[in-house]
Amino acid sequence: MVFRFPFYAQDSLEDQISIFLDDSEEGFSEKEAAYIEKKTRGIMERLEEIDALIDGNLEKYSEDLLPAPVNEETVAELDNPGNAVVSTDRNKKESHKRYWTLDRIGKAELAVLRLAIYELKFDEDIPQGVAINEAVEIAKEYGQEGSGAFVNGVLARLV
């Protein structure tokens, strides 16, 4: 259900919950339907806060993937055209930071991150390790190649 968020207007999500639960081939029990609805509504109510946490951790994740930051001595050398390596590293870092935004994450990965962050921050019934492990496994199953590592990397910066 969380996967549908980016594809529908916020005001139509109420209808989407009903459609999902009523038309599902899974045939959810009452208990399962209530659980899905509770999680979905919880994420919807906190979506702005959850997305802000994802966005903040995307930047941290991106920075951790890059070479060590340019130190103060080499910053002064950036104006020197002969120092292409430092300049390239800095450009790469700026380019990489711009790449990881909420709009550019795969929709499956975004849904997994939203659910996992909701569970980590707002659902005391789910242990942190379980939330992270389940998110990684779901990302591996439904996301792109490398999604499990990506989700794990973003969530690791949150706990």
**Distance (Å, rounded) from C-alpha 94 to C-alpha 149?**
22
**pLDDT at residue 65, as a whole number:** 54
Residue from 64, 62, 45 nearest 114 by CA: 45
Residue from 96, 158, 90 nearest 128 by CA: 158
38 versus 73: the higher-pLDDT residue is: 38
65 versus 30: the higher-pLDDT residue is: 30
Domain limits, the chain: 1-45, 47-159
Is it the case that residue 91 has pLDDT exceeding 80?
A: no
Average of per-residue pLDDT across 133-156: 93
19 versus 51: the higher-pLDDT residue is: 51
CATH classification for the domain delimited by 47-159, as one of 1.10.1740, 1.10.940, 1.10.150, 1.10.287 = 1.10.940
10 near 41, Cβ under 8 Å?
no
Average of per-residue pLDDT across 36-54: 92
pLDDT range class, residue 11, cuts 50, 70, 90: confident
- Over the stretch 54-75, which tens digit does the pLDDT of each residue have? 988 887 666 555 444 555 554 4
Helix/strand/coil for 28 = coil
Is it the case that residue 86 has pLDDT exceeding 50?
A: no
**Distance (Å, rounded) from C-alpha 113 to C-alpha 148?**
11
**Distance (Å, rounded) from C-alpha 69 to C-alpha 86?**
10
**pLDDT at residue 95, as a whole number:** 46
How far is residue 111 from each of residues 93, 95, 157, measured CA to CA in Å?
26, 25, 18
Is it the case that residue 14 has pLDDT exceeding 50?
A: yes
**pLDDT at residue 49, as a whole number:** 96
Is it the case that residue 144 has pLDDT exceeding 60?
A: yes
- Over the stretch 102-143, which tens digit does the pLDDT of each residue have? 888 889 999 999 999 999 999 999 999 999 999 999 999 999
**pLDDT at residue 67, as a whole number:** 47
